[in-house]
Chain A
Amino acid sequence: IAGITQAPTSQILAAGRRMTLRCTQDMRHNAMYWYRQDLGLGLRLIHYSNTAGTTGKGEVPDGYSVSRANTDDFPLTLASAVPSQTSVYFCASSVDSSGANVLTFGAGSRLTVL
């Protein structure tokens, strides 16, 4: 692979269930991000990681958690899914977290919570 791989591509989930969206990159980028994209709204940052071992909260972190055990992987977990978390989720990475940090995006994970 070259770039970012997200899984699953799509998922329908019952409310209250736990769900982990997986994200793996092979570009050795230091920074990684999780965004959600909803119709009529801009991409909103959920959580980010500037380097392996560190994470930070974005604009809409409630109900989500992340971990960054190594450079390549950045999973996003919904501990107890709610219908308002129905969205398209994009994982992204950049060489670092400052300056002209051009983002490379994964293909997205479409999540529907019923």
Chain B
Amino acid sequence: GQNIDQPTEMTATEGAIVQINCTYQTSGFNGLFWYQQHAGEAPTFLSYNVLDGLEEKGRFSSFLSRSKGYSYLLLKELQMKDSASYLCAVGDSNYQLIWGAGTKLIIKP
């Protein structure tokens, strides 16, 4: 079956760095996405990886290893507004997205 695994919850301190991991097993692979979702709001797009390696976008970076079925989202210089859930999703062989349950990130002052 198809499966996306990510930690349920993580806690980090304002100004620090946090890495959120995602492992996947899917039928086919057409890219890996990270979305941010604040409580009570809609998910918003953060990053897309289709080739192995690191994609950097400001304070956020995303890494992909297709051979290991693994990705991580790295958040630097954490701010209180980064408190949110982070959703990992993989495009399968039909280009449909398979979603993880999300990682709730709690930022403490």
Q: Which residues of A contact B (CB under 8 A)?
A: 40-45, 48, 58, 90, 97-108
Evaluate contact between A48 and B96: CB separation under 8 angstroms: yes
CA gap between A102 and B47 in the complex, in Å:
9
For the complex of A and B, 4 pairs with smallest distance between CB atoms: A42-B99, A105-B42, A43-B99, A42-B101
CA gap between A98 and B97 in the complex, in Å:
10
| Cβ-defined partner of B87 (8 Å) among A42, A100, A102, A108 | A42
Minimum distance in angstroms from B59 CB to a CB of chain A: 20
A38 nearest in chain B by CB position: B101
A-B contact pairs, 26 of them (CB 8 A): A41-B101, A42-B89, A42-B98, A42-B100, A42-B102, A43-B43, A44-B99, A45-B97, A58-B96, A90-B43, A97-B95, A98-B95, A99-B30, A99-B31, A100-B50, A101-B95, A102-B45, A103-B35, A103-B45, A103-B97, A104-B45, A105-B43, A106-B42, A107-B41, A107-B42, A108-B42
Instruction: Give the interface size class of chain B.
Output: 20 to 34
| Cβ-defined partner of A45 (8 Å) among B33, B41, B96 | B96
Minimum distance in angstroms from B93 CB to a CB of chain A: 11
Minimum distance in angstroms from B87 CB to a CB of chain A: 7
Can you list, as one digit per residue, whether each of B59-93 has a CB less than 8 Å from chain A (1) or not (0)?
Answer: 00000000000000000000000000001010100
CA gap between A43 and B89 in the complex, in Å:
9
A39 nearest in chain B by CB position: B101
A102 and B48 in contact, given A41-B101, A42-B101 (Cβ under 8 angstroms): yes
CA gap between A100 and B49 in the complex, in Å:
9
B42 nearest in chain A by CB position: A105
CA gap between A104 and B31 in the complex, in Å:
17
